[in-house]
Structure 1
């Protein structure tokens, strides 16, 4: 990426994709800063007049100039109130609105990405990027515009005023700035060089924290909490060491630059004394220059803080830009909709890494309102087939279609509206039970949610809770049992009323009582639907219309339960193994 393109992406990120609106913010900030700087300029004028009186005893005191300055301050107060109100509304309210819109755009972007993206980027990396790193960009994008404008105005006023009285003193005051700039550049490079590594450590630490909190029950069971969980402890230690190393590297260089700027005061004092002795400047102008020097160097020193922040933000901008440019799932235009729910796989080939195929020339059909199971040993490709149907990944070749329409010709929203999914591992959000069920149909009324809950055999246990449907549940559904979570998941699927139902062995690890309740709920869910089941326990799919046996990503057998047993092939072997395991007991 060229420097020009990089700057363009950087500007687009800190302006939240709306540079034109941000230019208006800057214009109002400029006016706001100009009006806000008037009091200091007026006070400098007042000091100038007073010094003139003190140093020139023959000069008579006149009240008029001070009254004029007082009037200017009063007018400035009124103008500042009006300008500040407008700039506040434009900057603060508009800035927050721009942030919100940008985050919503990123959320929409994430919805269009294939699951392969999330497989390559763990939760810690994404949470750090979208929260911590984005917060850094937000803070800098607001402060660099506001404070940068103030600094620019103050320097401009100082430069103009000083130049009127003495060009030599002006040059003496600003001569140290070019000497300090190289240190700012070096500080930027030092921070930028270590930022990528530091952000990677932050992401890893965030991932370890999520892993630690998510697996706290297991860790407690094996006495691995606290410092004994070395993985988390080591990541915190590395984060601390890397943060200290970055501060030492970039911060030390920046301090040298700030020291050079401080030396400018000594230069102004010494050179001013020389000009005073030579009669080129007056005593009160010399004093004014000393006062102005403090006003000039202080804001310039703030630029070093911005340089460090910009260096840290630069990598964040690159990461966000990379996210925005991630390849989305392509949709053949114009997008189409499927009227029917029959499913077809035609010569489908798929590989997760692009080389090792896990699905090899797979072809099968599922008629509308029929039920089909995918069975096979672990690694045979069952789950992959289901994920390809929902287009969590794109295939390398072949065609997958629903109702005769290739899924690549459907929008992701339309495709997923055709499918209700019930997984073995249910995830519930930290919200009320009602809102967790409503995910199946966002605009559902309370009565619809109750009907779905009754159909899923979970209404009674919900009503037994203290707040009923308004009961808050823990993250991931941690406050509910496995059977309760599964029934809420089925209620969610019933509410969505999609024509295709995908079941990932919803009763595989439940106790007999819950299994009976959930089987009844599933029977309600699959009425008049096209059903695809990933089966681990063959006993649960005996009555389905067709059973497809997968091995190594290929179909080895298919047929009814009775027909496959008579065939005596792979299915019969799996059946016999499970029947034998069912008789196993601890002796």
Structure 2
């Protein structure tokens, strides 16, 4: 019973009361639909009276009453059907919308480690296709099935009142068809998982192919890579056909058995009629009502494939819901200052530990640079400072307050971030910069753009700040995207700034301008800079040198050169590389 409750709550997106109300309206809708069947039987009975009783007149007044009942049924059914349709198409659509928004809020609270494990195709399949599958089942199929089962039970009870022998002849074939339905359901349950996996792989392949088309064309591999995508389409097609083949026992054998039921009803009724054991009216009633029983059962069998596929979609939604988000405190503590400290922090990606018992302090209103070889843990430190993840051990604090004791929204309000991989949304340049502060004026946006050295190229665009950039910023160069992201961070004017290779894609002239802008922030901000180009961080008050996830050296530029250690070696190598020329 508990399992059924969990399943029912899943397919109704937690709106069980609204769903029960929708089902009740469907019952009323179904009852209104069946009224003409009763009226028809009554009319047939009245029309047969002169044949069974030759002296009896035709009951015209009663027939007119039946016509009036049909008119009332037509009027009432209009309003009932309108209410049911609105509840299904509008009410449940609103429920699905809220469920997707709730899932979006859930995803927002998950750590970045989750998104590292999941690809975009997987998430888009769940949020779009799986939710649609569950919505279709919940809004249409479940109410219909409930109505069908109730109508079937009522029909069997009514038929039993007329003649129990004829009732048995009607329902005899239904149990014979059920094994084929269960067999098909089990088979489709297995195939539906393979189909959903194939659909997810195809979606991921499309995103990867479109996103990497420039690289594929550059290396003349667009056709070769498309073969991989085409194979994923073929696999999806194969499993789709498999789903249809799995439904064949229900669609063919099950329907054949149910159709045989009509013959059994006709033969049984004819035999009882010739023996004088069944009135003619009862025989006609059973012929008409048996159609009303077998047709819904056939529809019910046809829902088997939808159930199998939707159950798999519901399971995937539940798996996503069960992902544990970062823990949020009931009432967030406020930091006393903007000092960031790492106290014996270790962190792992899966089984690979990338930070080992790190102790660091980033003083308020100063610039700290993180340098070191690739993979030394620099970017991981900035992500931990923004609480994209929680450390495996140790504590990260802001102003003496552990980040776990702060609400994520409040923590992020103190931080502006400019990372190496810049993402711009498919919107205007103004909107992308305004993300830093939604209530900023246009003058403030332009001032931030000027400080980030991107106002001139924006003004030169055909629509200026109203120019639409492609998804991810695909219509702009790497340097242009990065400068816009810096303008966004400057507009936010947060007391902490995290810069991860922020000047990597800039030409020397604009790099100087950006460095000047960052230098202007030092008196007001706590700045953490990651840079491979050591010339860009020479003036930092503190330089921390990392190697293999541990602090190797620390100090300012001159101190580190005098130590003649790893930093001095990196400085010498970059000085030699700076004089390199193509021979």
Q: Would you call these one fold, judging by a TM-score over 0.5? A: yes
CA distance in 2, matches of 1:262, 1:102: 42
Asked if 1:559 corresponds to 2:560, the answer is: no
Asked if 1:82 corresponds to 2:82, the answer is: no
Which residue of the other structure, out of 373, 377, 384, is the alignment partner of 1:388? Answer: 384
Asked if 1:17 corresponds to 2:11, the answer is: no
Conservation of the 8 A alpha-carbon contact between 1:202 and 1:239: yes
Identify the residue that residue 187 of structure 1 maps to in structure 2: 184
Which residue of the other structure, out of 299, 323, 332, is the alignment partner of 1:326? Answer: 323
Asked if 1:470 corresponds to 2:466, the answer is: yes
Q: What secondary structure, in the 3-state scheme, does the structure 1 residue paired with 2:100 have?
A: helix
Q: Once the 2 structures are TM-superposed, how far is the Cα of residue 31 of structure 1 from its aligned partner?
A: 1.6
Which residue of the other structure, out of 104, 128, 133, is the alignment partner of 1:131? Answer: 128
CA distance in 2, matches of 1:226, 1:24: 54
Q: Once the 2 structures are TM-superposed, how far is the Cα of residue 226 of structure 1 from its aligned partner?
A: 4.2
Asked if 1:414 corresponds to 2:421, the answer is: no
Moved more, 541-550 or 416-425: 416-425
Which residue of the other structure, out of 450, 454, 458, is the alignment partner of 1:458? Answer: 454
Conservation of the 8 A alpha-carbon contact between 1:351 and 1:359: yes
TM value normalised by structure 1: 0.94
Identify the residue that residue 120 of structure 1 maps to in structure 2: 117
Conservation of the 8 A alpha-carbon contact between 2:366 and 2:522: no
CA distance in 2, matches of 1:156, 1:377: 74
Identify the residue that residue 23 of structure 2 maps to in structure 1: 26
Conservation of the 8 A alpha-carbon contact between 1:360 and 1:554: yes
Q: What secondary structure, in the 3-state scheme, does the structure 2 residue paired with 1:398 have?
A: strand
Identify the residue that residue 373 of structure 2 maps to in structure 1: 377
Conservation of the 8 A alpha-carbon contact between 1:348 and 1:399: yes
Conservation of the 8 A alpha-carbon contact between 1:42 and 1:73: yes
Asked if 1:225 corresponds to 2:226, the answer is: no
CA distance in 1, matches of 2:565, 2:307: 65
**Mapping of residues 10-409 of structure 1, within 5 Å:** 10-51=7-48, 53=50, 59-152=56-149, 154-226=151-223, 229-353=226-350, 355-409=351-405
Conservation of the 8 A alpha-carbon contact between 2:432 and 2:488: yes
CA distance in 1, matches of 2:464, 2:436: 19
CA distance in 2, matches of 1:26, 1:526: 63
Residue deviations 1:241-281, cap 9 Å, x none? 12222322343355322222222111111111111111122
CA distance in 2, matches of 1:59, 1:226: 85
CA distance in 2, matches of 1:190, 1:39: 39
CA distance in 1, matches of 2:88, 2:226: 46
Residue deviations 1:342-379, cap 9 Å, x none? 110111111112x4321111001111011001111011
Q: Once the 2 structures are TM-superposed, how far is the Cα of residue 201 of structure 1 from its aligned partner?
A: 1.6
**Alpha carbons of 1:196 and 1:573: their partners in 2 closer, same or farther (altered >3 Å)?**
same
TM value normalised by structure 2: 0.95
Moved more, 264-273 or 282-291: 282-291
Structure 1: which 5+ runs fail to align?
A: none
Structure 2: which 5+ runs fail to align?
A: none
**Alpha carbons of 1:58 and 1:165: their partners in 2 closer, same or farther (altered >3 Å)?**
farther
Q: What secondary structure, in the 3-state scheme, does the structure 2 residue paired with 1:229 have?
A: helix
Moved more, 160-169 or 269-278: 160-169
Asked if 1:486 corresponds to 2:467, the answer is: no
Conservation of the 8 A alpha-carbon contact between 1:173 and 1:267: yes
Conservation of the 8 A alpha-carbon contact between 1:420 and 1:493: yes
Identify the residue that residue 497 of structure 1 maps to in structure 2: 493
Conservation of the 8 A alpha-carbon contact between 1:265 and 1:293: yes
Conservation of the 8 A alpha-carbon contact between 1:37 and 1:154: no
Aligned length: 583
Q: Once the 2 structures are TM-superposed, how far is the Cα of residue 423 of structure 1 from its aligned partner?
A: 1.1
Q: Once the 2 structures are TM-superposed, how far is the Cα of residue 501 of structure 1 from its aligned partner?
A: 0.3
Conservation of the 8 A alpha-carbon contact between 2:46 and 2:58: no
